[in-house]
Structure 1
Amino acid sequence: MICLADEYALLRAAVSAAPDAAPVPSCPGWTAADLVAHVTEVYLHKAETMLRGEWPTPWPPDLSGEKPLAALERSYAELVAEFAARAPEEYAFTWYEPDQSVRFWIRRMAQETVIHRVDAELAAGLPVTPAADDLALDGVDEGLKVMLAYDFVRFPENFAEVVRDDPKAAIAVVGGERAWLVRPSPTEVVVEDETADRAAEQAQTVVSGSPDELLRWLWGRGGEVSVTGDPGHAAYLRKLLALATQ
């Protein structure tokens, strides 16, 4: 919850500094006003989902009578109020079957806020604030295991145009002290926790960087990473991640 609060404060400051019509470089076609509306709806949707125990309908709500920043503030207040009313391990309906808990939404909303805070800073022309290492690494873990590996099996049609059969495409993703070995195949994406050394030993390609840069690379928000081995494997992983996180 502390990470969510810190990231929301940065997001709120950045969107306040950006003109409504300012383009969001990392989200082509969006303006800062679009970004604020999106985050507002996401917060309200998750608060309503926890409150009702199911997806809220009808959706989205009509926010035309509120000023955008006021609506954003209200949505965040409603979200954290729902979190505060529950223990992290309590049941909460989610789209991720292996984790039906409040903790899942706390994690997901913290990561949602990190990425859109980056978007807001870019729209405002501000320096991008590096995410804390533990938050960034948790975001990489979520991106690989929850957003990519889970969705690849659940919605294979979303990846059909880019998927390929390459048994040698084992990719190590290394950030600081954490590492993951990613093995994509035509039917699944296997993601294993490894040490950096063991992941590199088993991989044909290694993608490495600081935790913040790695998180931004994973989500298509820039991010300067180093690629050793076959750059085609790194590009393939980035294509898969782009489809998983769009």
Structure 2
Amino acid sequence: MSPLSHDRYCDEITHQVGLLRAVVTSGADLSVTVPTCPDWSLQRLVRHTGGALRWAESMVRTRAREAVADDKVPLGEGPENAADLDAWLAETGEALVATLREAGPDAAVWSWAGIPTSGFWARRMAHELTIHRADAALAAGLPYDVAADIAVDVIDEWLQIVEFVQRAMPHDGARELRGPGRSIHLHATDATAGLHAEWVVELTEDVIVWRRGHEKATVALRGPLTFVMLAFYRRLPLDHPELEVLGERELLEFWLERTTFG
């Protein structure tokens, strides 16, 4: 359950930015509503994602000791037409990766999740891109896939975030996840290259407990790894034909409704 290497995250940021740029230049209607982020158009989604990358780059470059104010690196602002948006994304990705590589994984940088390092931001931005590119692909009607090691790490990080929110920033939804005797099993049916792509999540009286493994649980979500990742991130419905839910579906729905960044 160790994170991937810093270089791997930097490489993936470059890769995902390239794939997001391909969506922008595919001829897709940038005004279309994003089904998984219904308050946003495709253009707004891309500008938000690029803004998040620019915000993280500023954080790491300045070795920030607190969050950079939104008015210094505004989210959601950027070019409007496809050509300019493509060039803006390319510049954004190059700047972020250069800054992350210069910093290395251990530079002291503020973060909201109790991991105050540049390495946290490399991982977070790789996954931010991975998920928002899925949003973009779904909106544009384009195919989507992701490398298995990244998909596994996306799920690992999401569980770590939920655990952190329960411990450090408890809100009503996080509190409602507490309670003994309930568990969730995620089972990717197609993991390759020796990856152990199964997880067990136990809901306890304190915070969630999770681990990799194959165990009987209250409810199980099964399917190809990419589809399990997207469903667990609330990007695909549980009744998608590639997915199978076994056991108490209501518990999985309960979880998906309440897990959040806080």
Please tell me the root mean square deviation across aligned C-alpha atoms, in Å. Answer: 2.3
Aligned pair count?
A: 235
| 2:209 equivalent in structure 1 | 190
Contact 2:60 2:103 in 1 (8 A): no
The CA deviation string for residues 41-64 of structure 1, in whole angstroms up to 9 with x for no partner, is 101110011122222235254656
| 2:108 equivalent in structure 1 | 91
Paired with 1:9 and 1:65, the residues of 2 have a C-alpha distance of 17
Higher helix fraction: Structure 1 or Structure 2? 1
The CA deviation string for residues 50-90 of structure 1, in whole angstroms up to 9 with x for no partner, is 12222223525465678433332222222112112122233
Say yes or no: does 1:215 pair with 2:234.
no
Paired with 1:20 and 1:178, the residues of 2 have a C-alpha distance of 35
Paired with 2:100 and 2:249, the residues of 1 have a C-alpha distance of 42
| 1:180 equivalent in structure 2 | 199
Written as runs of structure 1 = structure 2, the 5 A alignment for 1:91-110 is: 91-97=108-114, 99-110=115-126
Contact 2:13 2:93 in 1 (8 A): no
Contact 1:205 1:230 in 2 (8 A): yes
Q: Partner amino acid for 1:137? A: V
Match of residue 132, structure 2, among 98, 116, 122:
116
Aligned-residue offset at 1:130? 1.4
The CA deviation string for residues 137-180 of structure 1, in whole angstroms up to 9 with x for no partner, is 1101111122x1111222222516x8156422111222242322
SS at match of 1:94: coil
| 1:155 equivalent in structure 2 | 169
The CA deviation string for residues 98-149 of structure 1, in whole angstroms up to 9 with x for no partner, is x22222111111111111111111222212x211111101101111122x11
SS at match of 1:76: helix
Q: Partner amino acid for 2:63? A: G
Contact 1:219 1:245 in 2 (8 A): no
SS at match of 1:167: coil
Say yes or no: does 1:56 pair with 2:74.
no
Contact 1:24 1:123 in 2 (8 A): yes
Match of residue 136, structure 1, among 151, 155, 175:
151
Q: Partner amino acid for 1:226? A: E
Stretches of structure 2 lacking an aligned partner (at least 5 in a row): 1-9
In structure 2, relative to structure 1, the CA distance for the partners of 1:46 and 1:170 (3 Å cut) is same
Match of residue 169, structure 1, among 166, 179, 182:
182
Say yes or no: does 1:13 pair with 2:22.
yes
Paired with 1:165 and 1:77, the residues of 2 have a C-alpha distance of 42
In structure 2, relative to structure 1, the CA distance for the partners of 1:61 and 1:159 (3 Å cut) is same
Match of residue 93, structure 2, among 76, 97, 102:
76
Q: Partner amino acid for 2:126? A: A
Contact 1:41 1:60 in 2 (8 A): no
SS at match of 2:38: coil
Larger mean CA deviation between 75-84 and 86-95 belongs to 86-95
Q: Which 4+ runs in 1 deviate beyond 6 A?
A: none
The alignment-based identity, stated in percent, is 26
Q: Partner amino acid for 1:183? A: E
SS at match of 2:201: strand
Contact 1:50 1:82 in 2 (8 A): yes
Q: Partner amino acid for 2:14? A: A
Q: Partner amino acid for 2:200? A: L
Paired with 2:250 and 2:79, the residues of 1 have a C-alpha distance of 49
Length-normalised TM-score, structure 1: 0.85
Paired with 2:178 and 2:208, the residues of 1 have a C-alpha distance of 12
Q: Partner amino acid for 2:198? A: A
